[in-house]
A and B are shown apart, each in its own frame.
Chain A
């Protein structure tokens, strides 16, 4: 990756436009600021508008995919983990637990990004934009969702363990 320092003003301007960063003229005093913003934007968003090799995976999904309504979020998670083959819509997609439990039915247009099943149905432009800024479209940050998931899972496991131990309690009164 070429350093931003060595790029010409025009190139910086083009990069800023590509990332959608509003900017003024590139001058001595404004340039360092824009370089910094570009660096942040690049780090946050590794993909540029050009399709990279990452995207070849998603190319398979260019057909329309209809997601089935979730009955309950928990059920979905179980089925997603346990019987992925039984869900035809998902068989050709890498399974990751949906970070947001949204019981919607939605169609994804051609550039569907499975890891983000939020209902960005309306316009293909929105989806493309959302794909670029993959993680910034959420209301609740991703890591918090994973954390909550882990806490709930851990809690359920804890309950399960406790239930099991009732049968063979080490605290039986000696007869």
Chain B
């Protein structure tokens, strides 16, 4: 079982509401800033993108890498975080 970070567990534990994009697992300051520049200033907007990509982890990871310059690890972490959040709340 892969270990999840505290950030991941915190995010997945409750509805995201208006949390900033940096609340997502794998998204730190730098990536958060890049995403905000593109208009993804809240976690739910990124969720929107994830849903638009039909919740496909691979597509979303690729998109995130292209858009924010994230590396594979962070992108996968974010993707997993969103997937689990969706499993719980969507």
Contact = CB atoms under 8 A, between A and B. Distances in A.
Interface of A: 22-25, 27, 29-30, 32-33, 36-37
B53 A30 contact: yes
B52 A33 contact: no
A30 to B, nearest CB: 6
B63 A24 contact: no
Secondary structure at chain B's binding surface: helix, strand, loop or mixed? helix
B49 A23 contact: no
Measured as residues with beta carbon below 8 angstroms from the partner, the interface class of chain B is under 10
B56 interface: yes
A26 B23 CA distance: 27
Contact of B59 (A25, A27, A32, A33): A33
A140 to B, nearest CB: 24
B63 A33 contact: yes
B63 A30 contact: yes
Contacts of A22: 54, 56, 59
Interface in B55-79: 56, 59, 62-63, 66
A122 to B, nearest CB: 28
Interface string B34-64: 0000000000000001001110100100110
A22 B59 CA distance: 9
Contacts of B53: 23-24, 30, 33
B52 A24 contact: yes
Given A24-B54, A30-B49, A30-B63, 6 more contacts: A24-B52, A24-B56, A29-B63, A32-B66, A36-B66, A37-B62
Contact of B66 (A24, A25, A27, A33): A33
Nearest to B49: A29
Contacts of B62: 33, 37
A23 B66 contact: no
- Of all A-B residue pairs in the complex, the 8 with the closest CB atoms, nearest first, are A24-B54, A33-B63, A24-B52, A24-B53, A30-B52, A29-B49, A27-B52, A25-B52
A27 B54 CA distance: 13
Contacts of B59: 22-24, 33
B23 to A, nearest CB: 20
Contacts of A29: 49, 52, 63
A23 B54 contact: yes
A32 B66 CA distance: 9
7 contacts: A22-B54, A24-B52, A24-B53, A24-B59, A25-B52, A29-B52, A30-B49
